[in-house]
Structure 1
Amino acid sequence: MNPDLIDQARRLVSERFPNALAAVLAGSAATGRATASSDLDIAVLIGDGGETCRETVRFEGRIVEFFVHTHAGLAELFAADVAGRRAVMQSMYATGLVLVDSDGHAERARGRAVADLLDGPPALNRETIETRRYGLTDALADLADTGDRIERLAVAGTVLNAAADLLCDYHRAWVGSGKWLPRRLLEADAELGTALLDGHRHLCEMNDPTPLYDAAEHVLGLAGGPLSEGYRRAWRGVIESTTAGR
């Protein structure tokens, strides 16, 4: 953990939010994984009447992402992150470094965050799982059929995301995207998660889809197996993604 980054974050919070009820430094700066170009992720709890928002600024040459919220705003963000099965704000409060804690506000927020994380995300409903199964079945067929390297790489990303979503749901584990996809995937299932990630890397390096196909097919089996003929969905005014697009 870099004490210079922590001091920098404290200076900025003191300057921008002198009346903050709580402030938490999260992300790589709080876990000791920050690089010279890493930004600072800071959650700030402010009093009622303020605005819940996200804001990006530059401070002393470094990009800073502010996640600002009132009590009501934080409750809404927690609820939205549970519904979305992401727990972004919960992770920030549960694992972040407390910079400001007026009258225990930060610790109470941390307690609610930890409770949400322990409860886990809501399970996908049967219809959504069927749609995910259908999408992964279709993507695996494309992965096996296409001989074009560029197309195969594109389909591989779809397969990885769809399989990760189903595997996380199987274990009632939180999902992630971007760099958080492999982190959450390995937290959910170290063995199968590794197989998916290694299979994806192997395809990218060797143009061989077999390991990724096999790992994703295993995940599909845990979720109920392939689904193609017999799948049907009524039009509801929107087109629901058949994969894990979020």
Structure 2
Amino acid sequence: MTKLDARKAAQQIVEKNYPNCKGALLAGSVVRGQATNTSDLDIVIFSEDTYFSYRESFIELEWPVEAFVHNFSSYKHFFVSDKERAIPTLLRMVAEGIVLKEDTRLHRIKQEANELLEAGPEKWTSEMINIKRYFITDMLDDFIGSSTRGEDIVIAGALAERISEFALRTNERWLGSSKWIIRSLKQYDEAFAAAFIEAFDLFYKKGEKEPVIQLVDAMLYPYGGRLFDGFSIGKL
């Protein structure tokens, strides 16, 4: 049996599983042209029959499906949460989504998502930047001082997330998780993303720490560099 085209499959899935919904969008990698063999269908459902938002996963028509079900007000909570976390999960799905089932309210919701995406996340305060500098410095010290390969690997992974967060948030850019870390870095600055990938690639392949250390120092330099001496939090 040949697997149905993503849009046709999504259309049938909505008709079968959410026949009373008012609107539906297809989003995710299949819409962006980045689908792989393991990609799923991200479908956003808008219904007047639910009083709360929920998410469910299932397999239909040989497609793994992630359905995000909302009513016409509950989605707002998730838009606010996306902005506060600086991870635009639902915002991006709604903004990029292809309409599977039309409702005039979808246009307003998509416009709202696009405006919030364009505005970007909340700007970090100088206090927040210093807090992040301190914890990156602390983690970098652990990375430099560690002589155990297993610990090195775990610290490097955590450090990579801290570095990406700092680089993106200090430049008022949206964050990502998992594969979206690299995608978000590339959207922000191709050169920085390339340096990031190269530094960690050299560490994981050859155990070289210096490129990661240099990357961190170059990133922190405009904000005062590493921070330990004199740092305080919560002191009255």
- 2:79 aligns to what? 78
- 1:203 aligns to what? 203
Do the aligned partners of 1:168 and 1:175 also contact (CA within 8 Å) in 2?
yes
Do the aligned partners of 1:21 and 1:105 also contact (CA within 8 Å) in 2?
no
Do the aligned partners of 2:86 and 2:121 also contact (CA within 8 Å) in 1?
yes
CA deviations on 1:102-134 (whole Å, 9 max, x unpaired) are 2x2222211111100110100123332222111
Give the whole-Å Cα distance in 1 for the aligned partners of 2:28 and 2:216: 29
Give the whole-Å Cα distance in 1 for the aligned partners of 2:222 and 2:49: 46
**What secondary structure sits across from 2:156 in the alignment?**
helix
- 1:29 aligns to what? 30
Do the aligned partners of 2:50 and 2:70 also contact (CA within 8 Å) in 1?
no
- 1:176 aligns to what? 176
1:10 CA drift (Å):
0.6
- 1:219 aligns to what? 219
After TM superposition, the structure 1 stretch with the greater mean CA deviation from structure 2, 117-126 or 216-225, is: 216-225
Do the aligned partners of 2:129 and 2:170 also contact (CA within 8 Å) in 1?
no
C-alpha distance 54-233 of structure 1, shift in aligned 2 (>3 A): same
Give the whole-Å Cα distance in 1 for the aligned partners of 2:42 and 2:223: 35
Counterparts in 2 of 1:6-155, with a 5 A limit?
6-47=7-48, 49-102=50-103, 104-155=104-155
Give the whole-Å Cα distance in 2 for the aligned partners of 1:170 and 1:93: 26
1:3 CA drift (Å):
6.9
Give the whole-Å Cα distance in 1 for the aligned partners of 2:49 and 2:15: 19
CA deviations on 1:151-181 (whole Å, 9 max, x unpaired) are 2221111221111111111210000111111
**What secondary structure sits across from 1:113 in the alignment?**
helix
Give the whole-Å Cα distance in 2 for the aligned partners of 1:47 and 1:198: 49
**What secondary structure sits across from 1:208 in the alignment?**
coil
After TM superposition, the structure 1 stretch with the greater mean CA deviation from structure 2, 114-123 or 144-153, is: 144-153
C-alpha distance 158-37 of structure 1, shift in aligned 2 (>3 A): closer
**What secondary structure sits across from 2:73 in the alignment?**
helix
1:49 CA drift (Å):
4.6
1:197 CA drift (Å):
2.0
Give the whole-Å Cα distance in 2 for the aligned partners of 1:168 and 1:211: 19
Q: What TM-score do you get using the length of structure 2 for normalisation?
A: 0.92
Give the whole-Å Cα distance in 2 for the aligned partners of 1:226 and 1:36: 43
CA deviations on 1:38-57 (whole Å, 9 max, x unpaired) are 21111111126533111112
Do the aligned partners of 1:159 and 1:216 also contact (CA within 8 Å) in 2?
no
Give the whole-Å Cα distance in 2 for the aligned partners of 1:155 and 1:52: 36
**What secondary structure sits across from 1:24 in the alignment?**
strand
Do the aligned partners of 1:48 and 1:71 also contact (CA within 8 Å) in 2?
no
Q: Which amino acid aligns with 1:234?
A: G
Do the aligned partners of 2:167 and 2:219 also contact (CA within 8 Å) in 1?
yes
Which segments of 5 or more consecutive residues in structure 1 lack a partner in the other structure?
236-246
After TM superposition, the structure 1 stretch with the greater mean CA deviation from structure 2, 112-121 or 148-157, is: 148-157
Give the whole-Å Cα distance in 2 for the aligned partners of 1:231 and 1:218: 20
Give the whole-Å Cα distance in 1 for the aligned partners of 2:23 and 2:47: 7
Counterparts in 2 of 1:188-199, with a 5 A limit?
188-199=188-199
Give the whole-Å Cα distance in 2 for the aligned partners of 1:224 and 1:3: 55
Q: Which amino acid aligns with 1:211?
A: P
Q: What TM-score do you get using the length of structure 1 for normalisation?
A: 0.88
Do the aligned partners of 1:170 and 1:222 also contact (CA within 8 Å) in 2?
no
Instruction: Count matched residues.
Output: 233
Q: Which amino acid aligns with 1:159?
A: L
